[in-house]
Amino acid sequence: MAEPTRRAVAVNSDVHFGDNVTLVEPVNLYGCEIGNDVFVGPFVEIQKSVSIGSGTRIQSHSFICEFVNIGSDCFVGHGVMFINDLFASGGPARGDKTKWKSTNIGDRVSIGSNATILPVSICDDVVIGAGTVVTRDIFEPGIYAGNPCRKLRKL
């Protein structure tokens, strides 16, 4: 019987931390920048070229792929998935990062559990409901939900 390849849970040395950061292991962090007073729950992966603003909370089982910037005082619920590859050629880009897109999340944005965030820009002061699929940029503060995401009302 063959032995599996094992990879350790890790916080790589190329992660830049602000003050008072809390990590609940196991987490996988590499090549990212984490601001002051950030909380990262267990079973979270944050990839390189990601920036997390001060005071933000990332709950368990969330995945933040490359080229995502999250502002300050944000909340990312359990199981939130960020996507950077739109499968534009009919399948995965297979490491061709020129096909990957970026995501920018403003300040004071709350993203509910199990939301999926495609490569978009979201302005400040937005609430994204649980299970929402965000496929387009959000330019106005408010409460959004659904698949695809729709504005429900102003804040």
Sign, Cα dihedral of 127, 86, 67, 114: positive
Q: 13-17: long-range contacts (C-beta < 8 A, 24 or more apart)?
A: 14/48
Instruction: Reply yes or no on whether 78 is catalytic.
Output: no
Residues 6+ apart with CB under 8 A from 148: 133, 134, 135, 136
Report yes or no: 30 and 14 within 8 Å, Cβ to Cβ. Answer: yes
Catalytic one among 30, 43, 49, 61?
Answer: 61
Spatial distance between the Cα atoms of 104 and 87, rounded to a whole number of angstroms: 19
In angstroms, the Cα distances linking 79 to 63, 110, 138 are 7, 13, 21
Which residues are the active-site residues? 61
